[in-house]
Structure 1
Amino acid sequence: MKKTLCCLTLLLWSHWSIAQVEPITVATFNIRYDNPGDAPNTWDNRKAVVGNLIRFHGFDIFGIQEGLHHQVLDLTNLLPVHDYVGVGRDDGKEKGEYSAIFYNKEKFKVLESGTFWLAPETDHPNKGWDAALPRICTWAKMEKSENGETFYVFNTHFDHRGVEARNQSAQLILEKIDEINTGDLPVILTGDFNVGQETEAYKLLKSAPGMKDTFDAAGLVYVNNGTTNSFDTSTSTERIIDHIFVSDEISVKKFGVLTDTYHGKYPSDHFPVMAVISW
């Protein structure tokens, strides 16, 4: 009888432990490169707001786009519990915009990471197809501190002009996910894809076997605007070009486009997109 009760207690404890796995808040955020011509929306005026927004909404893992090296360093100073992986797209070191992945280092550990270029030649800085600029995807294999589970995060920024480049980049990323994720682990893909939900590139990613858009999968969707704003509070759009895709085994509790403002201004010319997930 005692043995039966002991086994039952362990079983109930096991189910309770699984149920108590902490959800992860993931996000994608094009922070806008440090452009003096954006005044009064310069990085120096915005950076503290960006950091506080991230902290307030509790981003555990987030991918940025357009961050220059000094902006990435500013974020690490503003977010003391976060670290990052990533390189500049122009030289594979510190030059050019990053598609860095930031993560809460108290909750996660990076086991492996890398960056590839969105081009036929993926291992060095270059432009692909009809792209106007070099484009990259940064990835990380991560481990949860709470239970040792491993998963992958990919973060990217598609070209703003080349339609063929965006279509080819979508296909390339799916191929790279299969190539890198040999253990068939859960996958999170974040980015500024520069494509709306009506485009070929978006549909390729959304319909890929084993993948889904968190916008569609979320139990609660909070979207009052599209994801770009051009720093103009007098206009709005319905178009979502910043996306978070996840693999099928990941459940999505919430999805939102965060339209935070400060003194009548926006923290960036893109709104961050956030999802709360678990598996």
Structure 2
Amino acid sequence: MRSPLVRRSRGRSLGLAIAWTLALVLGATTASAVSAPQAAAATAVSGSRPKISDKTPRVGQTLSVSRGTWTPSSATFSYQWYLDSVAIEGADASTYTVLPTDLGHRLKVSVTGQAEGLTSLKRTSYSTYKVARGYFTKPPLTIDDTTPVVDQVLTATVGTWKPSPERVSYQWYKVSSSGKTYKLYGATAPTYTVPAAVKGYQLKVKIWASATGYYTRSVTSARTSKVVQHSFSSKPAPLITGTASLGSTLSADPGTWVPVADKLAYQWKRSGSVISGATGSTYTVTDADLGARVTVTVTATRSGYATAAVTSAAVTPLGPSSDLHVGTFNLSGMNNDSKASGDQAVWAKRMPRVVTQILGEQSDVVGLQEAYQGTTYPQYTQLRDALNDAGGTYQVTDLDKTTSAATRIIYNTSTVKLLTHGAYAYNAQTAGKTTRYLVWATFRQLSSGKEFFFADTHLDPYTTASKEAEWWELVKKIPQLNTGNLPVVSVGDFNASKFTSYTAQLLPAMKAAGFGDVMNQEYTVNPPKGIRAENVVNGWINSFNDFRRDVTQYAYETRRDKIGNGIDWIFATNSLRVKQWKVVIDFNPTTLQINGVIPSDHNMISAIIVL
């Protein structure tokens, strides 16, 4: 069936043909006799589909629309941009800048043409591809000084990012001579203070910019030259001036540094250890400095230069302080560990308590007994090492295992200096038993410069005859060994108390020889009369505890004016002042029970003597 539109067209063509034929037949001479029909007038605006300038848009990009051809030429146009199929509010211009919120969506635009007397026409573009992330423009990045030196503060300067980033981060790097790059951890600021650790490396900095809807972008600076650090050409040793005596002021002359230092710092030291708070150019000598090596270290700093420190020669202040801390301690030999049970612990568990007590008494010299030598690592050496591990500076006068069996002298090298030493084997010995010795040494007290003679012994426990004879030998032998006629301190486990019968003669004999008991004890007299010690601590407790925790089993707990029946003694030159005598024991004063591990079956005895 033919279309009506098509039929109307054919009817009109036939009519025109007949008209033109009639005109010719009739010989019409003017065109007005028969006229051609006029075209129908336009009723609506017409136009082509608009096109977006980039069908692959990115965030930050400005898009434009091309309308194509429209009629009539007098038509006016309006625009509307769409996100997917939703009109974007306010987006009614021929251009559109893509927003971060458009990321992942499609864009399109409609163009509406209008003309007077005609029906308007709205044409819509095809949709773009999904909006992709945008790119930052890459700004220049420089370091403010490309020839850095140690201690210098470098600053990274960056141009203008487009668009303005929401976040910017920094990272500094060092570059080796081989070109290998290393991250400088913690160097994440616009500025970087050059440390000495990067000397010889080149430096560079990298910056990252990021914002919503944009790819993160980085820019890296050019490398600097290698970091350099200068050295002082003159580093003089400081000179201590002033009198090195108690209470005097010492001054440090730093000398002339070349070039001149930006800053000079001072640190005073005592025998190599820092003196807390002593950081000025002057220092006042205290009691603790007497006999010690006092030095001052000057540290010079200058920007771009290696820090340099130089220490002065030492001075040794002297003064009236001459307290000597002595003691006697029977350790109970580690060869008895096989018998350990109950409150008798093995040596490894007891040793820390022994260390605590010796250090707690600030001991300068201690006579040891039963410091077992019959092992590859003797008990006295173990004790020395444990004391030093705990912060002490102790040494044994003689480490030879064959010298004096288990009787030894240990001393603090920070407070006294060993001058001479030896061991005397008593003539009186019990056959088949351990040889007994009188061990001796001479020392110089560093604080006062005074010298003294120190003796230690452990008398025979097996027979009374040997024990008494050995004690008489000691009375005679000490004056012979003390060739310098020095003040005497004699200590040890004598295996006899003031109630042992022969002490009736030997205690007076010791005093007559010039070195009596510091407690002035006499045979069977208790409490003693005319005690030399100005202060007595725990005097009512015996020195031998036999690993019993209950102090009441070996003490005058109800008569604390009495002195315990100790078998461990301290004797000293009769003229010496005795500030204190002490039974060293850690116990609960309420329960009278020893706290923790019992250090030994003997309590340490200590004394403070003034030389």
Q: Pick the TM interval, shorter chain.
A: 0.7 to 0.9
Determine the structure 1 residue equivalent to 2:536: 221
* Structure 2 letter corresponding to 1:266: I
Q: How far is 1:92 from its partner?
A: 2.6
* Structure 2 letter corresponding to 1:38: A
Determine the structure 2 residue equivalent to 1:37: 339
Residues 3-18 of structure 1 aligned to structure 2 (within 5 Å):
none
Q: 1:115 aligns with which of 415, 423, 437?
A: 423
Q: 1:142 aligns with which of 437, 443, 446?
A: 443
Question: What SS is found at the alignment partner of 1:244?
Answer: strand
Q: Runs of at least 4 residues of structure 1 off by over 3 A? A: 16-20, 86-89, 130-133, 204-207, 261-265
* Structure 1 letter corresponding to 2:340: D
Question: What SS is found at the alignment partner of 1:260?
Answer: coil
Residues 221-260 of structure 1 aligned to structure 2 (within 5 Å):
221-222=536-537, 223-234=539-550, 235-237=553-555, 238-260=564-586
* Per-residue deviation, residues 182-225 of structure 1 (Å, max 9, x unmatched): 22110100100000013324425543331211123101112131
Q: How far is 1:20 from its partner?
A: 3.3
Q: How far is 1:159 from its partner?
A: 0.9
Q: 1:162 to 1:258 in 2, by over 3 A?
A: same
Q: Is the 8 A contact 1:115 1:136 kept in 2?
A: yes
Q: Is the 8 A contact 1:212 1:247 kept in 2?
A: yes
Q: 1:86 to 1:197 in 2, by over 3 A?
A: farther
Q: Is the 8 A contact 1:31 1:67 kept in 2?
A: yes
For structure 2, which runs of at least 5 residues remain unmatched after alignment?
A: 1-244, 249-286, 291-317, 521-531, 556-563, 588-593
* Structure 2 letter corresponding to 1:133: T
Residues 180-199 of structure 1 aligned to structure 2 (within 5 Å):
180-199=481-500
Q: Is the 8 A contact 1:227 1:271 kept in 2?
A: yes
Q: 1:178 to 1:263 in 2, by over 3 A?
A: closer
The count of residues paired between Structure 1 and Structure 2 equals 256
Question: What SS is found at the alignment partner of 1:146?
Answer: coil
Q: How far is 1:42 from its partner?
A: 0.6
* Per-residue deviation, residues 11-52 of structure 1 (Å, max 9, x unmatched): xx9xx9998313111100001001221235110111111111
Q: How far is 1:263 from its partner?
A: 4.5
* Per-residue deviation, residues 220-265 of structure 1 (Å, max 9, x unmatched): 1121310111111132243210000001231101101112256544
Question: What SS is found at the alignment partner of 1:154?
Answer: strand
Determine the structure 2 residue equivalent to 1:4: none
Larger radius of gyration: 2
1:162 aligns with 2:485: no
Q: 1:133 to 1:208 in 2, by over 3 A?
A: farther
Determine the structure 1 residue equivalent to 2:325: 25
Distance 1:156 1:88 in 2: 17
Determine the structure 1 residue equivalent to 2:610: 278
Determine the structure 1 residue equivalent to 2:354: 50
Distance 1:131 1:211 in 2: 32
Quick one: percent identity of the two aligned structures? 25
Structure 1 stretch displaced more, 233-242 or 103-112: 233-242
Question: What SS is found at the alignment partner of 1:79?
Answer: helix
* Per-residue deviation, residues 95-138 of structure 1 (Å, max 9, x unmatched): xx421111110111111100111225xxxxxx35x794321111
1:175 aligns with 2:476: yes
Distance 1:205 1:108 in 2: 29
Question: What SS is found at the alignment partner of 2:512?
Answer: coil
* Structure 2 letter corresponding to 1:155: D
Distance 1:186 1:263 in 2: 37
Q: CA RMSD in A?
A: 2.6
Q: How far is 1:76 from its partner?
A: 1.2
Determine the structure 2 residue equivalent to 1:267: 599
* Structure 2 letter corresponding to 1:207: K
* Per-residue deviation, residues 39-84 of structure 1 (Å, max 9, x unmatched): 3511011111111111112111110100013211111111221111
If asked which structure has higher relative contact order (CA below 8 Å, sep 6+), I would say: 1
- Kindly indicate which of the two structures has a greater share of residues assigned to helix: 1
TM-score when scaled to structure 2? 0.39
Question: What SS is found at the alignment partner of 1:25?
Answer: strand
Distance 2:546 2:488 in 1: 31
For structure 1, which runs of at least 5 residues remain unmatched after alignment?
A: 1-9, 121-126
Q: 1:65 to 1:232 in 2, by over 3 A?
A: same
Q: How far is 1:176 from its partner?
A: 1.4
Q: Is the 8 A contact 1:218 1:255 kept in 2?
A: yes
Q: Is the 8 A contact 2:499 2:565 kept in 1?
A: no
Question: What SS is found at the alignment partner of 2:477?
Answer: helix
Determine the structure 1 residue equivalent to 2:119: none
Q: Is the 8 A contact 1:115 1:139 kept in 2?
A: yes
Q: Is the 8 A contact 1:205 1:211 kept in 2?
A: no
TM-score when scaled to structure 1? 0.83
Q: 1:106 to 1:147 in 2, by over 3 A?
A: same
Question: What SS is found at the alignment partner of 2:519?
Answer: helix
Determine the structure 1 residue equivalent to 2:294: none
* Structure 2 letter corresponding to 1:109: K
Question: What SS is found at the alignment partner of 1:75?
Answer: helix
